[in-house]
């Protein structure tokens, strides 16, 4: 590839960093300004521009534009500034970007598959120019973060997730593919937007939906037989069901269910180490009973059983509160998954009443209900516990159950806090707290890297437990001193490497791959990681 075509290929374009020899070899003389810059100089220029942007959406648009033009520079900047840029390219700003996606749509990324492609999905997949796809993130846009049904505007989620796969775990962007399955939307505001890019129809349900997804999964395996498929932001009525439907036959997982569960389990392990205690001793109230919360509960039960409890004993440590109140045996509106956790006790409808009755050591929010952890709830947790654990996991920030400042203030600075969105350090009475971000980016990139290097054929719960344990081991005493139960995001590449090692070892030990474990697994993993540094193509 030469000349203008080379400059228009984001995977190959180096812009003004092309050397004089490269400009001669590839017919670039005159197509670029004469001054030659190093990648480091261009990266500094990019960050200066990002910081000058008037708001976060403009920062997002600038970075996505860079990704469309110069992929290596984009990832160089992301890797070197991950703590600052992760909230821009993913949560929480990606939520705003999805709400505005049709209005800011400039260039298609990934594949859009609609219900009208039924019977032809294999052909649609064949339109993607790369054949060796190893990681796919797919959504149908029904439950985008805590924002609900955004339809085709939800494409921002797979795009953002795959950017983190590369930035956080070094998975080559060339083997990644974002996909939006457009089955309509039930969001009237979206449907009435004249700029909306998706199907202007109500959401497909029932058998027709299942047939479409079945065809998608089968066609994907035929076209990309070595691909890991990550389900993302599917609605509650489909997420758990589709995970159960496909997990035994495909290499797939649902990040909202399994990734969130592993991240939360790791946070609990670290919190127990920080304050002293064991997971099996905790009493945990989960606000929310959708796929994410039920996934957390299931993985916690599995972990407690591995530590010596019976399944019934482990389940007895967990209480769930949904939109109708405490999940109890006397209710006749419970799904099978919820019924497993139903308790034989009064049907409290108020979270404060639940906290007073249960006296939990930890409250975990996965409800999308902003402000649900009220001052009264937080004060009660502080009265009941010397060091209450408060995890406000809902995204984006506007949907968080409480802020970090609220958690520290109303628990007299004693809370062990983690938020799904990033919160600034809190200074209170001369003491500084650095709240940990309980973000799935600590888990799914490393899990994906472990699957990729081991070529595992399935994804198991044991892998997510191993990922949670590996993440916990990365949290240091220095982190604890700051009140943080997750490592600094600046260390995410090392964290992902360690998680990939743990996950791939599960695959090798469990016979989930035809490969044998390399003698130097760590070195093998590092050799597979994408390096966004420019290389000289003319020697």
Q: What is the pLDDT of residues 295-315, one digit of tens each?
A: 999 999 999 999 999 999 999
Q: Where are the domains of the chain?
A: 3-89, 93-250, 258-439
**Which value, to the nearest 10 degrees, does the dihedral of the CA atoms of residues 146, 211, 125, 152 take?**
-30
* In the block, residue with structure tokens 């910081």: 51
CA–CA distances in Å: residue 521 to residues 172, 254, 508: 19, 26, 11
Both tokens assigned to 22 = 């490269």
CATH number at 3-89: 1.20.1370.30
CA-to-CA distance for 310 and 76, rounded, in angstroms?
Answer: 48
Give the number of C-alpha atoms closer than 13 A to the C-alpha of residue 11, restricted to the C-beta side: 8
Asked if 156 and 145 count as a contact pair (C-beta separation under 8 A), the reply is no
**Cα angle for residues 504, 505, 510 (degrees, 5° grid):** 100
- Give the closest residue to 13 by CA, choosing from 76, 69, 79: 69
- pLDDT at position 397 is 86
Which candidate, 510, 439, 405, places its Cα nearest to that of 262? 439
pLDDT for 313-369, tens place per residue?
999 999 999 999 999 999 998 987 899 999 999 999 999 999 999 999 999 999 989
- The CB density around residue 539, as the number of other CB atoms within 10 Å, is 5
Query: Which pLDDT score is estimated for 324?
Result: 94
Q: What is the CATH number that goes with domain 258-439?
A: 3.40.50.720
Report the distance separating Cα 500 and Cα 33, nearest Å.
Answer: 42
Sign (positive/negative) of CA torsion 126, 127, 133, 138?
Answer: negative
Q: Do domains 3-89 and 258-439 have the same CATH topology?
A: no
The DSSP line for 383-424 is: HH-SS-EEEE--SSGGG-SS-HHHHHHHTTT--EEEESS---
Residues 6+ apart with CB under 8 A from 188: none
**Per DSSP, what are the bridge partners of residue 229?**
136, 252
**Architecture of domain 93-250 in CATH?**
3-Layer(aba) Sandwich (3.40)
Q: pLDDT value at position 91?
A: 86
CB atoms within 10 A of CB 390: 30
Q: Which residue has 């109890």 as its token pair?
A: 328
The dihedral region occupied by 27, where left means phi > 0, alpha psi between -120 and 50, and beta the remainder, is: left
In three-state secondary structure terms, 33 is coil
Encoding tokens for residue 20? 């004089």
Quick: pLDDT tens for 119-159: 999 999 999 999 999 999 999 999 998 899 999 999 999 99
- DSSP, collapsed to helix, strand or coil, labels residue 17 as helix
Residues with catalytic annotation? 90, 161
Distance CA 301, CA 90 (A): 30
Whether 434 contacts 482, CB under 8 Å: yes
Give the pairing type, strands 325-326 and 318-322: antiparallel
Crossing angle of helices 291-306 and 461-473, in 10° steps, is 80
Closest listed residue to residue 330, CA positions, set 351, 348, 314: 348
Cα 35 to chain center, whole Å?
40
Question: HEC profile for 434-446?
Answer: CCEECCHHHCHHH
d(CA 313, CA 294): 17
> Digits of tens for pLDDT over the chain (539 positions)?
899 999 999 999 999 999 999 999 999 999 999 999 999 999 999 999 999 999 999 999 999 999 999 999 999 999 999 999 999 999 889 999 999 999 999 988 999 999 999 999 999 999 999 999 999 999 999 999 889 999 999 999 999 999 999 999 999 999 999 999 999 999 999 999 999 999 999 999 999 999 999 999 999 999 999 999 999 999 988 999 999 999 999 999 999 999 999 999 999 999 999 999 999 999 999 999 999 999 999 999 999 999 999 999 999 999 999 999 999 999 998 987 899 999 999 999 999 999 999 999 999 999 989 999 999 999 999 999 999 999 999 988 889 999 999 999 999 999 999 999 889 999 998 899 999 889 899 999 999 999 999 999 999 999 999 999 999 999 999 999 989 999 999 999 999 999 999 999 999 999 999 999 999 999 999 999 999 999 988 75
pLDDT of residue 539: 56
Give residue-wise pLDDT tens across range 115-126: 999 999 999 999
Provide the 10 A C-beta neighbour count for residue 458: 17
Angle at 222 between CA 218 and CA 223, to 5 degrees: 115
Tell me the two tokens of residue 291: 């796929």
């Amino acid at each position: 590839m030469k000349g203008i075509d080379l400059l228009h290929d984001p995977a190959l374009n180096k812009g003004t960093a092309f050397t004089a020899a490269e400009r001669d070899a590839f017919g670039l003389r005159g197509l670029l300004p004469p001054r030659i810059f190093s990648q480091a100089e261009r990266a500094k220029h990019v960050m200066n521009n990002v910081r000058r942007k008037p708001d976060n959406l403009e920062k997002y648009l600038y970075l996505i534009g860079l990704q469309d033009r110069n992929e290596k520079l984009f990832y160089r900047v992301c890797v070197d500034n991950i703590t600052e840029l992760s909230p821009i390219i993913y949560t929480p700003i990606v939520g705003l970007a999805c709400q505005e996606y049709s209005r800011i749509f400039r260039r298609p990324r990934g594949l859009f598959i609609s219900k009208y492609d039924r019977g032809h999905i294999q052909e649609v997949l064949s339109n993607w120019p790369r054949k060796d796809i190893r990681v796919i993130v797919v959504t149908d846009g029904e439950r985008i973060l805590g924002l609900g049904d955004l339809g085709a505007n939800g494409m921002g989620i797979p795009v953002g997730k795959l950017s983190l796969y590369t930035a956080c775990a070094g998975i080559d962007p060339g083997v990644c593919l974002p996909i939006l399955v457009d089955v309509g939307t039930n969001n009237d505001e979206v449907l009435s937007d004249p700029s909306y890019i998706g199907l202007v129809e109500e959401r497909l349900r029932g058998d027709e939906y299942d047939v479409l997804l079945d065809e998608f999964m089968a066609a994907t395996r035929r076209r990309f037989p070595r691909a890991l498929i990550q389900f993302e932001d599917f609605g509650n009525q489909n997420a758990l069901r589709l995970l159960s439907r496909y997990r035994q036959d495909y290499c797939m997982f649902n990040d909202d269910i399994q990734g969130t569960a592993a991240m939360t389990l790791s946070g609990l392990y670290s919190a127990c180490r920080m304050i002293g205690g064991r997971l099996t001793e905790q009493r945990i109230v989960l606000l929310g009973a959708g796929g994410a919360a039920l996934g957390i509960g299931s993985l916690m039960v599995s972990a407690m059983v591995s530590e010596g409890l019976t399944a019934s004993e482990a389940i007895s440590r967990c209480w769930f509160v949904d939109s109708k109140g405490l999940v109890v045996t006397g209710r006749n509106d419970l799904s099978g998954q919820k019924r497993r956790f139903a308790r034989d006790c009064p049907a409290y409808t108020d979270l404060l009443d639940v906290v007073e009755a249960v006296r939990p050591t930890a409250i975990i929010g996965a409800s999308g209900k902003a402000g649900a952890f009220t001052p009264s709830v937080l004060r009660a947790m502080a009265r009941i516990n010397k060091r209450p654990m408060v995890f406000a996991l809902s995204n984006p920030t506007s949907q968080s159950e409480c802020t970090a400042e609220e958690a520290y203030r109303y628990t007299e600075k004693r809370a062990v806090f983690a938020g799904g969105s990033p919160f600034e350090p809190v200074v209170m009475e001369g003491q500084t707290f650095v709240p940990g971000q309980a973000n799935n980016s600590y888990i799914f990139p490393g899990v994906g890297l472990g699957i990729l290097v081991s070529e595992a054929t399935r994804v198991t719960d044991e892998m997510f437990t191993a990922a949670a344990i590996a993440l916990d081991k990365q949290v240091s005493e220095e982190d604890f001193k700051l009140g943080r139960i997750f490592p600094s995001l600046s260390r995410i590449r090392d964290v992902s490497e360690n998680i990939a090692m743990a996950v791939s070892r599960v695959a090798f030990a469990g016979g989930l791959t035809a490969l044998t474990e390399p003698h130097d697994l760590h070195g093998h993993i590092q050799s597979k990681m994408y390096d966004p540094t420019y290389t000289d193509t003319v020697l």
